Amino acid sequence: MFSVLKKAIGLTSATDAEPSTALVSESVNHRLQGQAKMHEKYPQVRSLAVNLMISPPDYETEPTLNGRSFGPDSLAFFEFRCKNVECTQGGFDITETVSDSIAKGERSINGRRVCHGMHGRSPRAHNTIRCNYELNFRININYVEN
């Protein structure tokens, strides 16, 4: 069940990744090495669960709900794509918030971000509209017991 979930959200466990490490190209390997794993970046964290709700600014369509679990071997990567299909250069990066909260030992974080991407691809600047999709997130953090 857990491995299925991890596959569904695009993360692979260490056991999945190890046999193929020698086969991946140098550039892919380099990129993967640039991303620290949870236990490397946050050794005090046992697990972390993220709940995301991404809503359009006009609330005309249903918000998108998303949940992700991070274990020790998950990549410590907290950037989420914007759900606006017409958004360019948007997205939500909450890496700093997560780092700060873990440093303070907080067990839950609530927050909100607004996407600063552009809606539409008009070459004329005055025709571009801010995406303004909104992310509301809640994060629960479990720490390693001492």
- Which region among 33-41, 50-58, 99-107, 113-121 touches Zn ion (by CB under 5 A)? 113-121
Among 84, 102, 135, 137, binds Zn ion (CB under 5 A): 84
Query: What does the alpha-carbon distance between residue 123 and residue 84 come to, in Å, rounded to a whole number?
Result: 19
* Shortest distance (Å) from residue 99 CB to Zn ion: 23
At 122, list the tokens.
């008009």
Q: Which is nearer to Zn ion, 11 or 87 (CB)?
A: 87
Quick check: 90 binds Zn ion (CB under 5 A)?
yes
Q: Is residue 83 within the footprint of Zn ion (CB under 5 A)?
A: no
Q: List phi, psi (to 5°) of 30.
A: -60, -45
Shortest distance in whole angstroms from residue 70 CB to Zn ion: 23
The b-or-e profile of 13-45 (16+ CB within 10 A means b, else e) is eeeeeeeeeeeeeeeeeeeeeeeebbbebbeeb
Binding site for Zn ion (CB under 5 A): 82, 84, 87, 90, 115, 117, 131, 133
